[in-house]
């Protein structure tokens, strides 16, 4: 673990936002001086639904504001780092608190198999188990049915375990019960994510099953104060997207996920499908574009009215030495960085860039030192959270189009 004041006269971005004077620290959130960061409670509380959306600024269809829950309030738009098994790869939950991450996304399928929901519930829920004071959103495992060997019937989905090869049968009811035991602040319904490309019959079947399972999920929900989000499917067919959104909205969920996108389709088709779904979704509920987290996808989603995003890309890229910057991404493993005494990104205030050089971190990568993955991951997650700060500020100032153009020039 590394701690202490940042080097070379720079200050940590997370420290500036939280009043911290420390650098990277893995021991406790208190060393970072954080008290909730972007997810700190405003004292407004939530509605009887478990969540309440408050919009404070608009720029076209883009919106900024807060998602109020019983735990506190999350500033929107929001990027949620992915902690599939209850931890973001290479970072501790104390690290996430230092970075100011408002929400951690965890996966029901993985937590159900390891360590099991009984243990998590006995520990007091995922927050106590992972020592995480921020919000937790749990995905249902529907995407694993898409990405892993599985079979689907009207009752549920059978998926092979990635741990021991055994078969696990998930139903809408069992997934709701598992997420209630996990204790997430927001849970997602079990859905069917069709592949891309898929024919109209396959898309319609996935849509209809998702709608039927959503209705069963609503009936199965027992836990008060926990939000339940429905999921819109329909592939890239605008008509099916609208139909799925209508069927899902009729069930009156606390919020709405837009799933089944960013699975290989062209960006134009993705955005058209997104627009078709959003056109049906209510203005007073949060909208979550599932699995999308590249800079262009983020800002284009926000411009169309999306509030929440998640993606494994920032952490996965970090493990391969890819660094996110305002000018695009680069591979730190390339020989041209071997002697560079510059930070990962000049002007970046994150704790990695405040203290370490490219040459040093590249050296750690090339010799296989695990801390290298932590340092690059810290930067990439910090960069994504800072991008959301910029997007939020741009909405408030009415200049989101200017930021969109800037991001497209660098990342398009």
pLDDT of residue 49: 79
Q: pLDDT digit string (tens) for 265-284?
A: 999 999 999 999 999 999 99
Percent of the chain with pLDDT over 90: 87
CA dihedral of residues 94, 95, 97, 98 (deg, nearest 10): 120
Please determine, for residue 312, whether its predicted confidence score (pLDDT) is greater than 80: yes
Confidence of residue 317 (pLDDT cuts 50, 70, 90): very high
282-293 average pLDDT score: 98
Residue 136 has pLDDT above 90, yes or no: yes
Domains and CATH numbers, the chain: 78-311 (3.20.20.105), 312-412 (no CATH)
Active site residues: 139, 310
Q: In whole numbers, what is the pLDDT of the chain averaged over residues?
A: 91
Residue 214 confidence (pLDDT) above 90: yes
Model pLDDT, residue 141: 93
| Mean pLDDT, residues 377-390 taken together | 98
What pLDDT, on a 0 to 100 scale, did the predictor assign at position 46?
53
Decide: 277 and 241 in contact? Cβ < 8 Å.
Answer: yes
Question: Average of pLDDT values for 372-390?
Answer: 98
pLDDT higher than threshold 60 for residue 215: yes
Q: Residue 254 pLDDT > 90, yes or no?
A: yes
Q: pLDDT at position 24, please?
A: 58
pLDDT digit string, tens, across residues 240-253: 999 999 999 999 99
Output the pLDDT for position 258.
98
Rounded mean pLDDT, 200-207? 97
What would the pLDDT profile of 72-126 be if each residue is shown by its tens digit? 999 999 999 999 999 999 999 999 999 999 999 999 999 999 999 999 999 999 9
pLDDT band at 50 (very low <50, low <70, confident <90, very high): confident
Q: Average pLDDT of 127-134?
A: 98
Question: Of the candidates 192, 257, 269, 188, which has an alpha carbon nearest to the alpha carbon of residue 228?
Answer: 188
Summarised one tens digit per residue, pLDDT across range 12-46 is 334 333 333 234 543 333 335 333 345 443 434 45
Give the whole-angstrom CA distance, residue 351 versus residue 31. Answer: 13
pLDDT in tens, 155-199: 999 999 999 999 999 999 999 999 999 999 999 999 999 999 999
């Amino acid at each position: 673990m590394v701690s202490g004041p940042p080097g070379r006269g720079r200050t940590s971005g997370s420290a500036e936002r939280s009043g911290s004077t420390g650098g990277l620290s893995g021991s406790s959130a208190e060393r970072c001086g954080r008290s909730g960061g972007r997810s700190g409670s405003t004292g407004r509380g939530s509605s009887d639904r478990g969540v309440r959306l408050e919009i404070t600024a608009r720029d076209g269809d883009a919106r900024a504001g807060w998602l109020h829950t019983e735990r506190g309030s999350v500033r929107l738009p929001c990027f949620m780092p992915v902690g599939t098994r209850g931890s973001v790869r290479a970072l501790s939950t104390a690290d996430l608190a230092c970075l100011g991450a408002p929400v951690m996304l965890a996966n029901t399928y993985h937590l159900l198999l390891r360590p099991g929901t009984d243990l998590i519930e006995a520990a007091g829920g995922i927050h106590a188990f992972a020592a995480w004071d921020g919000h937790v959103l749990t995905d249902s495992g529907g995407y694993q049915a898409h990405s892993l060997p599985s079979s689907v019937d009207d009752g549920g989905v059978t998926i092979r375990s990635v741990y021991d090869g055994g078969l696990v049968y998930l139903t809408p009811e069992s997934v709701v019960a598992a997420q209630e035991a996990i204790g997430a602040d927001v849970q997602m319904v079990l859905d069917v994510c069709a592949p891309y490309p898929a024919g109209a019959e396959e898309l319609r079947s996935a849509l209809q099953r998702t709608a039927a399972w959503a209705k069963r999920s609503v009936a199965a929900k027992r836990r008060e104060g926990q939000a339940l989000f429905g999921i819109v499917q329909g592939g890239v067919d605008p008509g099916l997207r609208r139909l799925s959104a209508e069927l899902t909205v009729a069930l009156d969920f606390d919020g709405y996920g837009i799933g089944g996108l960013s699975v290989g389709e062209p960006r134009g088709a993705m955005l058209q499908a997104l627009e078709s779904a959003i056109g049906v979704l209510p203005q007073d509920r949060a909208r979550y574009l599932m699995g999308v987290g590249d800079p262009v996808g983020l800002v284009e989603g926000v411009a169309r009215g999306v509030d929440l995003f998640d993606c494994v890309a920032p952490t996965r890229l970090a493990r391969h030495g890819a660094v996110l910057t305002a000018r695009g991404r680069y591979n730190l493993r390339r020989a041209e960085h071997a002697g560079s005494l510059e930070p990962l990104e000049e002007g970046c205030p994150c704790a990695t860039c405040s203290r370490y050089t490219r040459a040093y971190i590249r050296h750690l990568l090339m010799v296989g030192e695990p801390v290298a993955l932590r340092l690059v991951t810290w930067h990439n997650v910090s960069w994504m959270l800072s991008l959301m700060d910029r997007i939020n500020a741009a909405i408030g100032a009415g200049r989101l189009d200017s930021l969109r153009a800037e991001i497209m020039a660098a990342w398009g």
